[in-house]
Chain A
């Protein structure tokens, strides 16, 4: 399987805490993207980091990329109950045609 892997599979935290999820991928990439999926809904794009970048910020999101280890991490700071969702990483291959998704992390943020 080409699928990447994410850990943890599930994460439960309290509001105000930070949430960190990790992603590993298998092939050379052009960029890596993170998506969010609320229960029963389609995926929504959160942030993209290119292969020549090491860190990127967007609001309460911080993404890092280590191409030597083929891994990425997503940090959500000061989590809110509304952040409860599944989060997926997706690596874009160097041909720009396909995304390969990870298996996802289910985040539960309790009030």
Chain B
């Protein structure tokens, strides 16, 4: 049971390049989330999904797209990377409201992204 895994761990991009971050969970969780963490800002929600095939915008969605084609995977895409997207990206998952509403989130180890 690996929990939540993220690929890659670290990446350097040039401005304008694109990339996809992969999050995978093996806990059969319904809900999945992408956050970014910047110094002094805590975690901010980018996009989230409450089930396979569904996605929704979080607090800071601009410049990112997501897809949840399979229940266990949640992909975060940057179509044209900008220096402002330099950050640490965390994925998280949880069972969802069906489990009684008192949800804790399980986090991946993070992906460090540097955009030059």
State whether B104 touches A45 (Cβ < 8 A).
yes
Size bracket, chain B contacts: 20 to 34
Verify B103–A92 contact, CB threshold 8 A: yes
Cα–Cα, bound, A3→B42 (Å)? 8
Considering only CB atoms and an 8 Å cut-off, how many residues of chain A contact the other chain? 29
A9 surroundings in chain B (CB, below 8 A): 40
Chain B CB within 8 A of A111 CB: no
Given A43-B90, A48-B104, A101-B43, 17 further pairs, Cβ under 8 A: A33-B104, A40-B110, A42-B107, A43-B105, A45-B106, A48-B102, A50-B102, A90-B105, A92-B103, A96-B96, A97-B48, A98-B33, A98-B48, A100-B45, A101-B42, A102-B42, A104-B42
| A44 and B43 contacting across the interface, CB-CB below 8 Å | no
- Decide: A31 and B31 in contact? CB cutoff 8 A: no
Question: Which residues of chain B have C-beta atoms less than 8 A from A44's C-beta?
Answer: 107
* Cβ contacts A to B, 25 pairs, < 8 Å: A1-B59, A3-B41, A3-B44, A3-B59, A30-B102, A31-B102, A33-B104, A41-B109, A42-B108, A42-B110, A43-B107, A44-B107, A48-B102, A48-B104, A90-B43, A90-B105, A92-B103, A96-B96, A96-B97, A97-B31, A98-B45, A98-B58, A102-B42, A103-B42, A104-B42
